[in-house]
Structure 1
């Protein structure tokens, strides 16, 4: 297991951890949460051997293999599929040796002894490749790439030729390819669309090793982890359960701590009152002095902080033009590329709250850039209402910040009407206190820079807010503050986000970017994801059927007469029924188990959601028992779901094998 004992960690002169301790057992999946700048990524760097603790002990089994996403920007000049397969280091090493042996054996001028040694070495390599099931590696790599949104045509594309966001996905796929006992992931959902996040949730849920994952995405954490590690006030605290369970435990702890603090405050007031009344009386002096000593020995119980230190609001406009933006027969394409949009017509009305959905590469960010005027259409029109003020946030805007500016200087650079004190007061609501307000931006984390860019938008007081993946790098407090501010904003909103809960809580309609069009999707986000998964499954099945048809047309059986074909078809059906019956029964059994466990989990969630459960401190044992049952049922449900998928794939493979026999 991984253990940290009383560790201390500094970043320069800033103390990130002091006397921090935690334990991660094999197979545990732990989400790491905390505000920007508390040391989450710094902790990961130590675990990966890229830094070190300033004090304390840190250890994990020497035989543990660590999986992580390489942060190097430069990618080797190899195909995407080969790059992902190289993540399995043992496979890559053995494959390289095999290739070297085969090249040596292909030479005509090697000696007999060299040939003999190479042949023996090649036999040994084949045995080792069989031992690690090397034949499965290409299929696994393709599965990872497809799950993260790549197409088959991307497999042979050179890795350096992908754009920034797709490079991040490539490196994530390579990290998942690594056979690891401990997997460390730092904000893995950044740069993913909602479809890829849903796939990643399923993949990590079935991953059998230990996991440490930094994430701000509540839904993702709820689906993946069974423990939460909180970094706060230089300490490490572990909670059992997913993020929803942590929030319930945290709320109960805040209430309990507040009650203790109130009780102590009352006791201290009583002591002070007694001392004030009797310290001057000789008959009571001894008792008063004992009260003074008792008061001095008391360590004041500080209430746990429940309020979000980041609080801001978007000023709602008094008047919004309507319609705000109209697209009329818009067409656009990048140079030397197929058309991105063809004949797109759409209208944005005052008060619309729109989520843009579509797979990566479909054109969501391009559509936004056309809307704000960063790109010009090849034909058609983008008509913006007169006087329309747009607040636009995108990740690339973070890179435009002057690194030597302080937050105050950045505000003054953009808004000439501000005084320095007004700028200081304004950014204070975004978590930039007196100390941070004087630091240069190059010292900030990605989330802190994103908060500053959001501050610019708030000050602009727009009619229309456009956000392209606003929560990338934001911590939980910043994300919550953004959601609350947007909920109260009565202007129009367009948002692209992989955060399912954020989308569901803020938008009321979805525009689907696909097939060179932008159309209204009739349904909520769950319906969209279900449709996307159904389409992907249908496409996969269609490809299989096409393959079977081609194979059947080219086979000798296709030349036989109809009578023979009917006889063979009847025999095939009998054989198919006989061979598939055990798997079919197993699928039915697993379906029943999934139904039972899903209902059981819903019942436990309902019990844990009951506020009265946390009002009585005597029920802490009941809460712990329910959380334990919840975790157990979640794990069992995941196991059954994985078994169902394996069984379904085995059945499909068997059916395909039967169809290919002749």
Structure 2
């Protein structure tokens, strides 16, 4: 294999890759081989994207990643395998070095380093080079400032901090080890992120066995709070086991099913000891103590129902989309998304006292979400979950925790009950405030009228004291309503878009889709659903003309202009520029006011439009991506999982914006609330075909629940 660049190799292996995905992959590998320890790590970074591009097997993709790493590090292929060796940052002129042997002895030694001392925390040579590079960057920045150029400062990484007040009684109980309370109380605590206070004087109570949904606007600190609890920066009773599903499982040779079983350390230790004793007895050891210990082990294994553990783990994996073959597959062969599912399966199997889930539905298709909703309704311990999926929040939680105004308020019931109770509570608070204001005004009028009347002096003083004792009520602060607005479009005469007997295969004999007969108009509100890997993204690319059908035909109006949104586009935003500069780069030559007006249509207003993109929350970045997509005035929107970083209010605003949009819309989503808001037609991908079903989402949910029920029989 002889290629000039890794980019050329990618294009040779994936000739159908579109520019956006190519730029995404190229951006990941642009840092060079030093960013990756081995080809497995490179596969973890780009494997899932490459799965979407071509119909290659996992082994083929891993070989491609191995070849890519060799291209990025061509003179160190042996070192790749051994994990040792060093890549030079520039060519070395040995003759000139030999001429200066005495002065450069340390540098010459550094060239021939064959092993690495992993115990060292800092490599002095690398540190020296890093400091030199930093100095060069600082010098260049100073020159730019001196010349009057506008330099965008990269955002500084900030750390979250917490402080908490604990009672002496609880502290003594912890010290003695006598605290056996299963409820969790975190009282009077503060959380800050850098200089920004997220929570102040807040209280949080989690009763054992309750399921809590934590809600609030993007950027208020929900994820930070979960991390604070999981890493014990906020103190909870030491005997309470906590598991936070945040990181994907590390890939190795362990089969998926065994990876889940290993979470039960008690069972694993008992089985390991049982194997050790059996081996000793089989080798002729007749010590009666061993026989007694083995009998006790069997009793303990029976008490914890160790024999039923594999079946229980298999049920969880199957519910999350792992079929029998996948359950026996080594974890290193799964993409990042599937490893996150595996992390969730391990958490559900291990049943900690407190399970923390942060957006668990992001990585799941609708079938897995429905299974998880049903499974968590019988969760035996305490659950705290952050989610933007409104249907999930109406199905799973027994309580809702509302994070706002630097505090947490608790509400009984699911999300629907929370909304009703909160609305009524705010209405009553506003009425009470207005009534008090009227009363104050009436009393103040009396005081002003008789302030200088000697006969009424005692009454006036009494009224003044009464006003001073009145509690200080504040007007209800209404959260700013999120509004998204897609551009107006001009009508097109039909036909707009038609797929006739479309067949598609990335490679001969490996058909992805066949017999696809579908059509769309500017009035279409089509939602595409189906299992992960069923071909939804491939179908979108055929619809937009990115991929050409291998059979059948695609007909599109000559003036049809697509606006495409996917999670890849959010990840590819340039981070060190402002939102205004981002739009300016994509669509140059327009007045700044037009860029700001466009961003304002998607809620990026004021100083937020001038912040670096890196400093924005995930939901705000999504809105910037929407603004950029719509700057080209598309008349047909293709939205691939647009809700992953949006809060509930923004998803509601997105649904309203789609309904008002005058162009066509095709949506791929697992958010049931959004689908129900906008869907007029439902396309189901599966079994190599795409079909439109009558009855909409209700019918699809009925089909999925029947499949899940049949699988358990």
Contact 1:70 1:175 (8 Å CA) reproduced? no
**1:176 maps onto 2:354 in alignment:** no
1:46 aligned onto 2:228: yes
Among 73, 77, 96, the residue aligned to 2:253: 77
* Distance apart, 1:163 and its partner CA: 2.5
The corresponding residue for 1:259 is 431
Does 2:249 match 1:67? no
Q: 1:405 is paired with a residue of what secondary structure? A: coil
| Distance in 2, Cα, partners of 1:148 & 1:65 | 24
Kindly indicate whether the alpha-carbon contact (under 8 Å) linking 2:490 and 2:635 is maintained by their aligned counterparts in 1.
no
Distance (whole Å) between structure 1 residues aligned to residue 308 and residue 571 of structure 2: 41
1:215: Cα distance to partner?
1.0
CA distance in 2, matches of 1:164, 1:212: 24
Per the normalisation by structure 2, the TM-score is 0.68
**What is the DSSP-based 3-state SS (H/G/I as helix, E as strand, rest coil) of the residue aligned with 1:189?**
helix
Shift of 1:286: 8.8
2:699 matches 1:527:
yes
Mapped contact 1:323–1:350 kept (Cα < 8 A): no
Deviations 1:502-533 (A, max 9, x none): 21121111111112111111212121121233
**Does 1:302 pair with 2:474?**
yes
User: What's the CA shift string for 1:46-86, capped at 9, x where partnerless?
Assistant: 11116x25xxxx423x3322233141463333212122222
Question: Equivalent residues in 2 for 1:312-461 (5 A)?
Answer: 312-334=484-506, 338-461=510-633
Q: Is the 8 A contact 1:187 1:473 kept in 2?
A: no
Contact 1:320 1:491 in 2 (8 A): no
Question: Are 1:240 and 2:412 an aligned pair?
Answer: yes
Alignment correspondent of 1:6? 188
* Alignment partner of 1:152 out of 305, 318, 324: 324
Q: How many residues align?
A: 531
Q: Say which SS state the counterpart of residue 75 (structure 1) adopts.
A: coil
- Measured on the aligned residues, the alpha-carbon RMSD in Å equals 3.0
- Displacement of 1:418: 4.1
Q: CA separation of 1:194/1:321 partners in 2, compared to 1, >3 Å: closer, same or farther?
A: farther
Other-structure match for 2:203: 21
- Whole-angstrom distance in 1 between the partners of 2:436 and 2:402: 27
Structure 1 residues 384 and 122: alpha-carbon distance in aligned structure 2, compared to 1, 3 A threshold: farther
Q: Tell me how far apart the structure 2 counterparts of residues 121 and 365 of structure 1 sit (CA, whole Å).
A: 57
Structure 1's 10 and 441: CA in aligned 2 closer, same or farther, altered over 3 A? same
Which structure 1 residue ranges, 5 or more long, are not aligned? 542-662
Q: Flag the 1:77–1:433 CA change in 2: closer, same or farther, 3 A.
A: farther
Structure 1 residue 152 displacement after superposition: 1.4
Asked if the contact 1:2/1:23 (under 8 Å) is kept, the reply is yes
Written as runs of structure 1 = structure 2, the 5 A alignment for 1:271-282 is none
Q: For 1:210 and 1:311, how far apart are their aligned partners in 2? A: 35
Give 3-state SS (helix, strand or coil) of 1:190's partner: helix
User: Which moves more between the two structures, 130-139 or 226-235?
Assistant: 130-139
**In 1, are the aligned partners of 2:525 and 2:680 still within 8 Å (CA)?**
yes
Q: Return the offset for 1:413.
A: 2.4
Query: Cα distance, 1:489 vs. partner?
Result: 1.8
Note closer, same or farther for the CA distance 1:291–1:323 as it changes in structure 2 (3 Å cut).
farther
TM-score, reference length from structure 1? 0.73
| Alignment deviations for residues 522-578 of structure 1 (CA, whole Å, 9 cap, x no partner) | 21212112123324545666xxxxxxxxxxxxxxxxxxxxxxxxxxxxxxxxxxxxx
Structure 1 residues 272 and 338 mapped into 2: Cα distance closer, same or farther (>3 Å)? farther
Matches of 1:410 and 1:91 in 2, distance apart?
54
Equivalent in the alignment of 1:90: 266
Structure 2: distance between partners of 1:7 and 1:288: 43
> For 1:319, what is the secondary structure of its paired residue?
coil
Classify 1:291/1:185 alpha carbon distance in 2 versus 1 (closer, same or farther; 3 Å).
same
SS of alignment partner, residue 206 of structure 1? coil
Do the aligned partners of 2:248 and 2:342 also contact (CA within 8 Å) in 1?
no
Structure 2 residue corresponding to 1:167, chosen from 339, 345, 362? 339
| 2:379 match | 207
User: Secondary structure, in 3 states, of the residue corresponding to 1:403?
Assistant: coil
Q: Is residue 340–residue 363 contact of structure 2 (8 Å, CA) maintained in 1?
A: yes
CA distance in 2, matches of 1:511, 1:15: 45
Contact 1:184 1:213 in 2 (8 A): yes
Q: CA offset at residue 426 of structure 1?
A: 3.9
Range moving further from structure 2, 518-527 or 12-21: 518-527
Corresponding residue for 1:197? Answer: 369
Task: Give, in angstroms, the shift of residue 420 of structure 1.
Answer: 3.4
Q: Alpha-carbon deviation of 1:332?
A: 2.3
Contact 1:254 1:305 in 2 (8 A): no
1:159–1:103 CA distance, 2 compared to 1 (3 A) = farther
Q: Name the CA distance, whole Å, in 2 between partners of 1:272 and 1:408.
A: 50
Query: Kindly tell me: are residues 275 and 218 of structure 1, through their superposed partners in 2, closer, same or farther at Cα, counting changes over 3 Å?
Result: same
Q: Deviations over 1:195-246 (max 9, x none)?
A: 2111111100011111111111221111111110010010010011111111
Change in Cα spacing, 1:135 to 1:539, as seen in structure 2 (3 Å) is closer
The structure whose residues are more often helix, as a share, is 1
